[in-house]
Amino acid sequence: MTTGFDVLASTTGVRRRLLPPKRGLPPRAAVLTAVAVGVVGLLTYLIRTVPVDAPRLARPEAVRYWPAAATGAVIVLVVVTGVIGAVAVRRRQAVAVARPTVPIAGRGVPPLLRWEAVPRRVLLVAVVVSAWLAAGAVASGQQLSFVALAAVVPWLPLFVLEGASKRRRYRVFAAFLGVVLFQTLHMGEHSVQLTQLLLTDGDLAHSHGVFGQLDFETVHFVADTAVWLGLGAFLVRFRGQNTWLWVAFAAASLHQIEHFYLFWMYHAHSAVYEAGGFAGIMGSGGIIGSPLGRPYLHFTYNIIVIVPMLVALWDQATSLEPAARRREPR
């Protein structure tokens, strides 16, 4: 005999089987959301409490050179169009089905992103020596740039050894890894600059990152252009199959428009640049303008470049892992 309780239990069980299981945000989405919220919160705090102390152009002077900004945008658009076309050609010319770039399920850091050529004990020695040298530099009252160099020197031969090993084994992926590492260091400089602005109450004259001697437009232009063109080249090489690489390239393209304009302004009208033209296009007091002062704006640009680059690197490493294993000697 079937009771009402049995029917209710049976019905509930059916409903539970039909309804999809409740899940929270995937780990990647949760991390990216946390990063976005953290960055927005930090920038909001900086804008409201630590305004950048820097010269500012009058509005008519700020918008006077908009044709140069438009020219930079056209140059970037031409390059982006060329990359899209080259990716399309590469896809049509592929004689075999390309290896998928969809991440392969797994846990932990992909082997391609681990130290492979350097033993763990050597890494531990490098950590100790690096910390000892940096502490000695701080104790002797050296400049921040010297402290950073002292900490990095023990790692240089290890990175050279590991880089050479990865280049032999993984070829283009090793170059991609190198570009990501370079952009990570670049992001570190911008992060240090923000910390200095916090400590100096927005004094830009005393906030130039670790290597302040390199904080001028030519260096920024060369570095950001190299990353931008490198991302475009990797898109072509990987046949545009890595979605996050497209996101990074789009962000770098927006950043590049700024640097084309700033590079031109720095060399063509240095007096205007020093008087506030370094705000660029989207910086506070720039051609279009925004609440973000120059250092806050470029910190934001670099965040929206490096985050998708790191995700793209991870996906590329996981997708290439089976092929890398097949090439290993048996």
- What is the per-residue pLDDT across 43-60, written as a single tens digit (0 to 9) for each? 999 999 999 988 999 999
Instruction: Please name the residue that has the structure tokens 């909001």.
Output: 44
What is the number of alpha carbons within 13 Å of residue 95 lying toward its C-beta? 0
For residue 17, pLDDT over 50 is answered with no
Match 């991390």 to its residue by tokens. Answer: 31
What is the number of residues in the chain? 330
Q: What are phi and psi of 49, to 5 degrees?
A: -115, -20
Q: Quote the pLDDT of residue 88.
A: 94
pLDDT digits (tens, 9 = 90+) for 31-42: 999 999 999 999
Distance between CA atoms of residues 277 and 258, nearest Å: 12
pLDDT for res 98: 46
Task: Identify which has the larger pLDDT, 123 or 11.
Answer: 123
| Contact (Cβ atoms closer than 8 angstroms) between residue 292 and residue 50 | no
pLDDT at 324: 54
CA 317 – CA 170 distance, rounded (Å): 10
Q: How confident is the model at residue 289, as a pLDDT?
A: 93
Among candidate residues 245, 107, 108, 126, the one with its CA nearest the CA of residue 183: 245
Instruction: Please tell me the pTM assigned to this model.
Output: 0.84
- Of residues 32 and 6, more confidence is placed in 32
Given the structure tokens 């704006």, which residue do they identify? 297
The alpha carbon of residue 126 and the mean position of all alpha carbons in its chain are separated, in whole angstroms, by 26
Half-sphere exposure of residue 33, counting CA atoms within 13 Å on the CB side? 7
In angstroms and rounded to an integer, the radius of gyration of the C-alpha atoms of the chain is: 25
Element housing 148 (H / E): helix 144-152
Least confident of 127-131, 231-235, 319-323: 319-323
Give me the mean pLDDT over the 206-233 stretch: 88
Say yes or no to pLDDT of 232 above 90.
yes
Q: Give kind and range of the element (H or E) at residue 177.
A: helix 172-199
Average pLDDT, the chain: 86
pLDDT for res 204: 84
SS3 313: helix
* pLDDT tens digits, 101-119: 444 555 678 888 999 999 9
Question: Which range among 79-93, 103-117, 137-151 has the greatest average pLDDT?
Answer: 79-93
Q: What is the pLDDT of residue 12?
A: 44
pLDDT at position 16: 41
What percent of the chain lies above the pLDDT cut of 70?
A: 85
Report the alpha-carbon distance of residue 191 to residue 252 in Å, rounded: 18
